[in-house]
């Protein structure tokens, strides 16, 4: 049987597709042939233009996941089948654990775990109702495995993403829905701008990465295409590290 990485004829929804990792993944899915529904709390016009300029198909939709039920509501109301869901939108807040606020805890947990779970729930219900198949790709983190510092709610949330990815795999794999996650390493995005601007911290980080560079959002694209494609049909409940070797050291 020929191995296929093609996403022709598939429709993918990517959250947080306006910039960073979400943009890199959306572009890669478009290059692989998927029609990409680029969503964010603001327009994803730049991402859509890049995909269309390369000959792909994409549209921009507003989806604000600060209300964690909005993803489920959006999918339930969408009038076309969605075959691939990438839960990328996320939030990080930094402070010492001894000073961390309840609001910063709740805001991060709501977007990074609650929104992910209920968006997946809405997607799965639609796939099962039409008797189809689907691919879910959640964005986890190295902090799904490590503790980190000064990001208590982010660490808790990304550990939660790893857990619910496995839970949903256990319930849905036999029903034609693959649920997996990608755990990015240190990627050059808005979320890591402060770390990259800190010369001492940036040097410490680079000193541990065997690849000897910060990752680029495009580095996540190939992994997402693989997990969304027929080539990964028997991959279920996996958390794939894309970290330049960080966790190996």
- Kindly report, residue by residue over 184-228, the tens digit of the pLDDT: 999 999 878 888 999 999 999 999 999 999 999 999 999 999 999
Question: How far apart (Å, rounded) are the C-alpha atoms in residues 50 and 201?
Answer: 33
Give the closest residue to 85 by CA, choosing from 181, 173, 178, 13. 13
Q: What is the pLDDT of residue 47?
A: 98
- Give me the count of residues in the chain: 249
Of the listed 78, 154, 186, 234, which one is catalytic?
154
- Kindly report, residue by residue over 142-195, the tens digit of the pLDDT: 999 999 999 999 999 999 999 999 999 999 999 999 999 999 999 999 878 888
152's CB contacts (< 8 A; 6+ apart) are: 97, 100, 105
Q: Which domains, and CATH codes, for the chain?
A: 11-248 (3.40.50.720)
Question: How far apart (Å, rounded) are the C-alpha atoms in residues 85 and 189?
Answer: 21
Among 40-49, 59-68, 105-114, 183-192, name the one with the lowest average pLDDT: 183-192
Is the pLDDT at 51 greater than 80? The verdict is yes
Q: What is the pLDDT of residue 63?
A: 98
Q: What is the pLDDT of residue 2?
A: 76
Q: What integer is the mean pLDDT of 79-91?
A: 98
Is the pLDDT at 118 greater than 90? The verdict is yes
Q: What integer is the mean pLDDT of 80-86?
A: 98
78 belongs to the catalytic site: no
Is the pLDDT at 3 greater than 90? The verdict is no
Q: What percent of the chain has pLDDT over 90?
A: 96
């Amino acid at each position: 049987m020929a191995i296929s990485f093609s996403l022709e004829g598939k429709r993918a929804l990517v959250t947080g597709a306006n910039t960073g990792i979400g943009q890199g993944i959306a572009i890669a899915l478009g290059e692989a042939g998927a029609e990409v529904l680029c969503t964010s709390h603001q327009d994803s016009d730049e991402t859509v233009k890049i995909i269309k300029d390369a000959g792909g198909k994409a549209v921009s939709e507003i989806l604000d996941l600060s209300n964690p039920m909005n993803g489920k509501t959006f999918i339930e109301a969408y009038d076309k089948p969605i075959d691939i869901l990438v839960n990328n939108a996320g939030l990080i807040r930094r402070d010492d654990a001894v000073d961390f606020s309840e609001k910063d805890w709740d805001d991060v947990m709501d977007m990074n775990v609650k929104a992910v779970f209920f968006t997946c729930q809405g997607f799965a219900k639609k796939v099962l109702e039409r008797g189809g198949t689907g691919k879910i790709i959640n964005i986890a983190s190295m902090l799904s495995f490590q503790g980190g510092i000064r990001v208590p709610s982010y660490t808790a949330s990304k550990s939660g993403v790893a857990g619910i990815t496995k839970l949903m795999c256990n319930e849905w794999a036999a029903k034609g829905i693959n649920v997996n996650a990608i755990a990015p390493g240190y990627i050059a995005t808005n979320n890591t701008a402060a770390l990259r601007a800190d010369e001492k911290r940036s040097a410490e980080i680079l000193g541990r990465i065997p690849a000897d560079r910060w990752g680029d959002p495009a580095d996540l694209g190939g992994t997402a295409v693989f997990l969304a494609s027929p080539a990964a049909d028997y991959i279920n409940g996996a958390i794939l590290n894309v970290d330049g070797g960080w966790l190996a050291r």
